[in-house]
Amino acid sequence: MAELHPRPAIPFLVASAGIATFSLMDAVMKDLALALGAFNAVMWRNCLGALFMGVLFIGTRQRWPAAVVLKLHLWRSVVVSVMAVSFFWSITQLPLAEAIGLSFIAPVIALYLAAVLLGEKIGREAIWASVAGIAGVAVILAGRFSGHYTLGQLWGVAAVLFSAIVFAYNLILARQQAQVAGPIEIAFFQNLFVAATLSFAAPWFLMPMPVDKAPMLAGAAVLATISLLLLSWAYARAEAQILIPVEYTGFVWAALFGWVFFSEKLTWPVLFGTLCIICGSLIAARAKPTPVNQVEIASV
């Protein structure tokens, strides 16, 4: 008997809730990064995330992966470590909406990385996606340069663009990872190995977990886990082409949470530039019909 899947509207709503949950986690992480520094916020969140996902890993009786799969988990975790610290540092310098908008250029960059690393052909869609994405970044940067800005904010722009490049490579790894492991396994080992990777810099940067910030750190880890599970459920029950646009609702949530929690204003250059980048990303998604695995959405 064929398995019955819910109507697309239900996975769409569940995925939307997953993106909203993850966006709230970004807002929590911004507060933590401002208070503790990006390194400490990422380190302690992943330690707690490894604990929570470890319980799920054992509770659902996941099988221990083969050595070759463990190596892939480890390498992607190293990449995610660099990406996460740079992104969460960037949002201490920039409004949430602006950082999220700039980060949307990652799928466009991924097209070219796929051509270089996987030998895939660069088609007409990739070129148009690049034009739209670069135009969007240019508009946002023009708005940033035309207004009042600090050196820290310019470094924040550089950090989020660097994070987007690393995230694009992360998408390539995620496609490889999704073929050999499930979401719970990926999330557990990613949290564990990210914490292990960052521990090499701990003697210079790590500070003890402040007791007053422990609930927020635990909350960030729980929000990331809930988001992962919601998105995993949705992507297992609806086609990627239906759910891909859901990712861009993250900009709306970032603008809302930035305004509510940090009194950040949304400017027209950021709004228009993000629209251009989203158009480029949608063109990129059309050029790459193979879905990005749901795990990568909650990888930061």
The predicted model gives 29-52 an average pLDDT of 95
According to the model, what pLDDT value does residue 242 have? Answer: 67
> Among 15, 13, 23, which Cα is nearest to 252's?
23
Contact present, 229 and 182 (Cβ < 8 Å): no
Per-residue pLDDT reduced to its tens digit, 44-94? 999 999 999 999 999 999 999 999 999 999 999 999 999 999 999 999 999
Contact present, 275 and 47 (Cβ < 8 Å): no
- The Cα–Cα gap between 256 and 250 comes to 10
Calculate the CA 129 to chain-centre distance: 20
Per-residue pLDDT reduced to its tens digit, 214-263? 999 999 999 988 887 888 788 777 766 667 677 788 898 999 999 999 99
- The Cα–Cα gap between 166 and 158 comes to 12
Position 122 pLDDT exceeds 90: no
Q: Of 291 and 276, which is predicted with more confidence? A: 276
Q: What is the CA radius of gyration of the chain?
A: 19
Residue by residue, DSSP assigns 104-147 as TTHHHHHHHHHHHHH-----HHHHHHHHHHHHHHHHHHHHHHHS
Per-residue pLDDT reduced to its tens digit, 127-186? 777 788 888 888 888 877 776 678 888 899 999 999 999 988 887 787 778 778 888 898
Burial label for 145, CB within 10 Å (0-12, 13-18, 19+), is exposed
Per-residue b or e along 236-262, where b marks 16 or more CB atoms closer than 10 Å to that residue's CB: ebbeeebbbebbbebbebbbbbbeeee
Lowest mean pLDDT among 29-38, 99-108, 199-208, 288-297: 288-297
- The Cα–Cα gap between 116 and 88 comes to 28
- The Cα–Cα gap between 38 and 88 comes to 6
Contact present, 132 and 280 (Cβ < 8 Å): yes
Lowest mean pLDDT among 4-13, 99-108, 126-135: 4-13
The residues spanned by each domain of the chain are 8-286
- The Cα–Cα gap between 86 and 166 comes to 10
According to the model, what pLDDT value does residue 147 have? Answer: 66
What's at 200, amino acid-wise? F
According to the model, what pLDDT value does residue 232 have? Answer: 76
Burial label for 89, CB within 10 Å (0-12, 13-18, 19+), is buried
- The Cα–Cα gap between 127 and 280 comes to 9
| β strands within the chain, DSSP E | none
> What are the helix and strand counts (H, E) for the chain?
13, 0
> Among 131, 128, 138, which Cα is nearest to 102's?
138
The residues near 61 (Cβ < 8 Å, ≥ 6 apart) are: none
According to the model, what pLDDT value does residue 32 have? Answer: 96
Position 23 pLDDT exceeds 80: yes
According to the model, what pLDDT value does residue 255 have? Answer: 92
Per-residue pLDDT reduced to its tens digit, 250-268? 898 999 999 999 999 888 8
Position 109 pLDDT exceeds 50: yes
